């Protein structure tokens, strides 16, 4: 073999080695992509994730299928994705709840900053303080007076321990000087169902989950938790306007992939997601749900992206103050003990609680009502 033949053979060998890697990069995705949501179908996170997943499927030519795995404030879903193959075919819809839970000591749940590679933020929305009309209150002031008259007797629902609605309720109670009984659920969908039925009386809920019921008159909205009024209910005051200084909470969400996912896959999912978030149909759907579109380019951690918005766990720092008798450490107690299915923490215990649902929820199932958690 002469020199030219040798060089040609070497070039062919190099091309053969490079071609599969280049083809692999260009071919993603070549099969179904699973998008794991830690809350039930119909929840705010689920609605946003479905809209983006459907648009991604059209754009990238492969199915993006939603896989709902509710429970433990979405940490069951987070663990399933964190331990999956880092190949880009299992996406996790991370939320503020995951960042909050990562701050709990020795909880044993996945940490968004350590166990995932962040792709992009997707959206954010405020919570709304709503009550069942049977409670007989029409304002925040009346709710505070009623709670002071009946300490620990008024129940407030949440979408799970350590979620934004949960800590919103705890922060409100702390600032108002009241005590309400926390009843956690495995997502906002079953929580709102029991709120409508009167099994619980109060809830801080993502605006999209309760606004139709407010408009129908089956729930009463008292205030919004954002820094400014929501466009979906411009007449609804914020808690800051009502004297709760610096009170702000929101529900935000974004895409995460397991640590070790190839950078070109992360980049492709990010670019495609940003593109679909710019589509008029997706923006219209988000707007109708009260969701603000967010296109972050932060790829080191979702925690960092959230911190820049100062709408994550940082909004709940007052809960950890020495003056507050229901601190985040106490709230975390049930999670650290259960390692997957949180229990009501000591200050809000209900006998018979299990599976992240209160005995109130179990009573519903006993009456034949469907469990949509």
- CATH number of 360's domain: 3.40.190.10
pLDDT given at position 101: 82
pLDDT score recorded for residue 73 = 83
- Residue 250's H or E segment, with its range, is strand 250-258
Task: Examine the domain organization and report whether 243 and 186 are in the same domain.
Answer: yes
Q: Alpha helix locations (H) across the chain?
A: 3-27, 44-60, 75-82, 96-102, 112-115, 140-149, 164-176, 188-197, 207-216, 263-277, 280-288, 302-309, 328-338, 359-366
Q: Are residues 148 and 210 in the same domain?
A: yes
Do 135 and 203 belong to one domain? yes
What is the span of the domain harbouring residue 329? 126-249+318-366
Cα 146 to Cα 274: distance, rounded to the nearest angstrom: 46
Give domain status of residue 41, yes or no.
yes
243 shares its domain with 362: yes
Q: Is residue 285 part of a domain?
A: yes
Location of structure tokens 């299992």: 90
Q: What is the CA radius of gyration of the chain?
A: 23
Decide if 95 is inside a domain.
yes
Q: Which two tokens stand for residue 300?
A: 């080191």
In a domain, 101, yes or no: yes
- The answer to whether residue 228 is domain-embedded is yes
3-state secondary structure 265-318: HHHHHHHHHHHHHCCHHHHHHHHHCCCEECCCCCCCCHHHHHHHHCCCHHHHHH
pLDDT of amino acid 335: 32
Contact (CB, 8 A) for 98 and 112: yes
Integer Cα distance of 49 and 47 in angstroms: 6
Instruction: Say whether both 232 and 340 belong to one domain.
Output: yes
In a domain, 22, yes or no: no
Residue 264 lies in a domain: yes
Q: What integer pLDDT is reported at residue 305 of this predicted model?
A: 40
- Among residues 309, 328, 343, which one ends one of the domains? 309
The pLDDT profile of the chain, 373 residues, written as one tens digit per residue, is: 565 555 455 545 554 554 444 444 569 999 999 999 999 998 889 999 999 999 999 999 999 999 999 988 889 999 999 999 999 999 999 998 898 888 777 678 899 989 999 999 999 999 999 999 999 999 999 999 999 999 999 999 999 888 999 999 999 999 999 999 999 998 888 999 999 999 999 999 999 899 999 999 999 999 999 999 998 899 999 999 999 999 999 889 999 999 999 999 999 999 999 999 999 999 999 998 889 999 876 544 344 443 343 333 334 433 433 333 333 333 333 333 322 223 323 223 333 333 334 333 333 333 333 333 3
State whether 240 and 267 are in the same domain: no
What H or E segment, with its residue span, contains residue 254? Answer: strand 250-258
Same domain? 214 vs 345: yes
* CATH number, domain with residue 69: 3.40.190.150
Residue 114 lies in a domain: yes
Amino acid 26: pLDDT: 65
- Are 163 and 219 in a shared domain? yes
- If asked whether residues 84 and 45 sit together in one domain, one would say yes
Total domains present in the chain = 2
Rounded Cα distance between 3 and 67, Å, is 58
Q: pTM for this one?
A: 0.71
Q: Judge if 280 and 297 occupy the same domain.
A: yes
222/349 same-domain check = yes
CA 57/CA 71 separation, integer angstroms:
27
Pairwise CA distance, residues 253 & 332, whole Å: 21
Same domain, 172 and 267: no
pLDDT at residue 187, as a whole number:
87
């Amino acid at each position: 073999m002469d020199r030219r033949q040798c060089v040609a053979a070497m070039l062919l060998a190099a091309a053969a080695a490079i071609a599969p890697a280049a083809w692999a990069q260009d071919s993603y995705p070549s099969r179904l992509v699973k998008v794991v949501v830690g809350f039930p179908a119909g929840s705010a996170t689920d609605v946003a994730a479905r809209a983006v997943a459907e648009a991604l499927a059209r754009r990238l030519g492969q199915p993006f299928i939603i896989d709902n795995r509710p429970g433990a404030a979405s940490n069951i879903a987070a663990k399933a994705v964190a331990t999956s193959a880092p190949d880009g075919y299992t996406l996790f819809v991370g939320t503020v709840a995951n960042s909050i839970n990562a701050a709990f000591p020795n909880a044993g749940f996945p940490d968004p900053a350590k166990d995932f590679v962040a792709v992009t933020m997707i959206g954010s929305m405020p919570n709304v303080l709503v009550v069942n009309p049977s409670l007989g209150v029409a304002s925040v002031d009346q709710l505070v007076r009623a709670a002071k008259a009946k300490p620990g007797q008024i129940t407030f629902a949440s979408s799970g321990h350590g979620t934004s609605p949960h800590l919103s309720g705890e922060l409100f109670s702390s600032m108002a000087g009241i005590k309400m009984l926390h009843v956690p659920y495995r997502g906002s969908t079953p929580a709102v169902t029991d709120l409508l039925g009167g099994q619980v009386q109060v809830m801080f809920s993502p605006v999209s989950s309760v606004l139709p019921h407010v408009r129908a008159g089956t729930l009463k909205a008292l205030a919004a938790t954002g820094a400014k009024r929501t466009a979906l209910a411009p007449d609804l005051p914020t808690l800051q306007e009502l004297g709760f200084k610096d009170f702000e909470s929101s529900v935000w969400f974004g895409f995460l992939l397991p640590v070790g996912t190839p950078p070109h896959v992360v980049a492709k999912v990010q670019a495609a997601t940003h593109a679909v978030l710019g589509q008029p149909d997706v923006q219209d759907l988000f707007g109708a749900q009260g969701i603000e579109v967010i296109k972050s380019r932060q790829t080191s951690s979702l925690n960092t992206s959230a911190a820049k918005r100062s709408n994550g766990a940082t909004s709940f720092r007052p809960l950890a103050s020495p003056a507050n008798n229901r601190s985040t450490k106490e709230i975390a107690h049930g999670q650290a003990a259960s390692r997957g299915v949180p229990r009501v923490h000591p200050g809000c215990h209900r006998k018979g609680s299990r599976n992240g649902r209160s005995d109130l929820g179990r009573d519903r199932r006993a009456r034949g009502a469907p469990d949509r958690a």
